[in-house]
Amino acid sequence: MRRPSPLTLISLGTLVLMALAAPFLVLGADQALRTMFNAPIRWIPEKFDSLRTFHEFTSQFDVHEMILLSWPDATVDDPRLDLVAEEIMRRQQQRTEDGLPELFVGVPNGYRMLQQLTSEPQSLSRTEAIERLKSVLVGPDEKTSTLAIELTPEGALDRRIAHEIALASAEKIVGLPRDQYLLAGPATDGLSIDQMSIESVQTLAIPSSVLAFLLCCVCLRSIWFTIPIVIVAAVGQGLVLALVFWLGLQMNAILIVLPPLVFVLAISAGIHLVNYYYSELSDGNFVTPAVDAIRKGWFPTVLAAVTTAIGLASLMVSEVAPVRHFGIVGAIGLLVTCALLLLVLPGAMEHWPGRKQAADKAGFPWWSPLAGSDDNWIWNQSAQLIRRFHRWIVVTAFVLLAFTSIGLTRVSSTLNVFSMISETTKAVQDQRWFETNVAPSVPVEIIVRFPDLAGDPRMLDKVRVIEKLQNEVLAVDHVQGVISPYTFLPPIPDGGDVRSVLRRTVYRRQVEKQLPMLVEAGYVRQVEGAQLWRISGRVEQDPDIDYGTFLVELEEQIAPAVSAESDESFPISATYTGVTSVVYDVQRALLKDLFYSFVTAIALVGIVMVVVLRSVVAGTLAMVPNIFPTVLVFGTMGWLNWAVDIGSMMTASVALGIAVDGTFHFLGSFQHALGKGADRFEAIRITYGHCGRALAQTTFVCAAGLLVYNASDFIPARSFSWMLLVLLVIAAVGDLVVLPGLLAGPPGRWFRSERQSKIATDTRDVTTE
């Protein structure tokens, strides 16, 4: 009995280990998905001023985020609003008795607030009271109302439980089916993003894998090779998810796109390796095709994996935690997946059933995967076109690079619920309903710091300043409603006669009596040496709003009014915070990371290119087709003012690695042909025959597999798939058009080693004459 070869034993051993590891990968992946939590305010370090200010605000006022809860017929006169609020707080009291952390600060609602404002001591008219509550707790129609469930920092962390308590309370009091309640607010947005991102993996990973499997079978014309390639790619998907759990990280909307990425890269590497095997057979090597294929293919495959890992690892320079995690987990997952592929495929090659039939054939048609460079009509014609138009190709490529590189300076980013969840989902539809019928759900906070004076003789001045600043906030574009301590107080008395003086004295005493209520409501806080009064605005959530500009306009509107009211005896200052300001800083950090990580990746990959090609000039020239996809796509987005979301942002450094994959395979074959004495044009023709099919196949299979994610309601997964699809196609153009164009012209001289130059000394190079 013939003993199995070492390649067969290694392949079988690796498959056994993968089978044994499979349950642990599935368990780890499942646990990772359970940790899904998206909160951009937790993605950046404390050194960011906006985050530090926000944490100071949450610690002082013990409020973090909110949930807006309503139902279709909820009005300001509906006592069920207050009954639901009481039920929520009753359940919290039960949690407190059970030793569990408090989730809710309070549950203000339109019904309770209207009753309070129209009763003693405020005694406002119904019209005045509703005007104060409009676009905060009461809609523009002056009827529709809502509960504003304010969460503690613990409630923001346990937002799933907080939502469950809120909905269970509403079901008990109102009695409607759960799907008829309307929910909005930052906490609701985050929970919806969590659910959608998990669903994108759970529902689309299998269809994507099945489609890639079928297309791989068609392209390779062999189920024998397709099975191990897809198995390894699937293991790679499970591995990166499990790594998130094993490394103690938290799954989020950025990391969720790692599985399809690793799957695509594994499929690409597998197709390239199989085509090396087919190339050996087409050259007549029927004795040791597997050994020779791996001997020729392992180095460019490993090199491509390493450089792609470098592109991913470059993301570790990021200040945004999920981006750093994306880099490290992606790099580890890719390298391990590449190693598994190199261990499994050789055994499959040694036992390919079609090997004997291939040996019996004298030649192969151009469409066969075994067709050599001499038999392949399409690639021969492609080489002829490159020979004729290489100058125009290079000039066009450099013009496009120059034009789109300017567009890179115009790239902007977006990070809000409308950039993450499809318009057709209930979460977005509820959000739109609140924006139209009640109030915006994005809070912006202004904390006014007053001096804490003995006896507080300036209490009336404090109320007057708050009223003035509240009106200034309402004057800023996109602010629809404001609630502040003044909302809860009677109108300030006017006039200068004796009776007015007496009224102001009475008013001051009323305010002093109301202070405990304002503290309990979460709008006034006493700190060492100062009193903090909170003005809370409600801002539209719209993908077209530049929140950076909005925050600047807000400060420019309020700062002069603060300065005008402040003096040495009564110093006043204002601090601006809220989720909006922190998210804006996260957006800026993501854009900065996009630039620095890409520059870092270019530098590191460029060094690898120079070392491998043993020429600074050749290494630099080889980077042109590699940066071509990223610069072209992101530069075009900049010119078109298309915002980059977190899904598409992750593709920048990844695209560099994908392009490098094809470049290494193409250059390896090109230099191999030169080493056998071919001139540069002939080497390009031979390389097309050996690598062209593999590059086209990987682009086709991977792009189609990614396209499945376009059906996702989770927009980052959708944009990731589209962006990577476009980048794959442009990377193929870079490797199959731009790179041959460079090699066929004068720059191609730099890609010839000294030994190759001596071999080709007497060879007439038609492309350089």
* DSSP string across 70-132: E-TT-BTT-THHHHHHHHHHHHHHHHHHTTPPP-EEE--BHHHHHHHHTSTTT---HHHHHHH
For 376, the 3-state DSSP assignment is coil
Model confidence pLDDT, tens digit, residues 84-141: 999 999 999 999 999 999 999 889 999 999 998 898 877 888 999 998 898 889 999 9
243 Cβ contact list (under 8 Å, min separation 6)? 28, 329, 332, 333
- Alpha helices (runs of H) in 175-288, residue ranges in sequence order: 186-220, 223-246, 258-282
Bridge partners, residue 67, by sequence: 149
In total, the chain counts a number of residues equal to 769
Domain limits, CATH 1.20.1640.10, in the chain: 6-35+191-336+386-418+584-759
| pLDDT, mean of residues 276-300 | 85
Dihedral angle over CA of 495, 500, 503, 504, nearest 10: 60
State the DSSP string of 542-590: -TT--HHHHHHHHHHHHHHHHHHH--SSS--EEEEESHHHHHHHHHHHH
- Identify the CATH number of the domain defined by range 6-35+191-336+386-418+584-759: 1.20.1640.10
The answer to whether 415 and 40 have CB atoms below 8 angstroms apart is yes
pLDDT for the residue numbered 766: 35
SS (H, E, C) 697-710: HHHHHHHHHHHHHH
Q: What pLDDT band is residue 255 in, cutting at 50, 70 and 90?
A: confident
Residue 748 has pLDDT above 60, yes or no: yes
Six-digit token string for 13: 């051993």
Higher pLDDT, 399 or 264: 399
* Cα(626)–Cα(217) distance, integer angstroms: 28
Domain limits, CATH 3.30.70, in the chain: 438-582
Residue indicated by tokens 């490159």: 386
Six-digit token string for 390: 């290489």
pLDDT for the residue numbered 366: 44
334 Cβ contact list (under 8 Å, min separation 6)? 236, 262, 265, 305, 308, 309, 312
Six-digit token string for 242: 């499990």
Model confidence pLDDT, tens digit, residues 315-355: 887 888 888 898 899 999 999 999 999 999 999 888 887 76
Region of residue 715 (left: phi > 0; alpha: psi -120 to 50; beta: else): alpha
Top-confidence range, 1-5, 16-20, 458-462: 16-20
- Identify the CATH number of the domain defined by range 438-582: 3.30.70
Residue 768 has pLDDT above 50, yes or no: no
* Cα(751)–Cα(747) distance, integer angstroms: 8
Region of residue 416 (left: phi > 0; alpha: psi -120 to 50; beta: else): beta
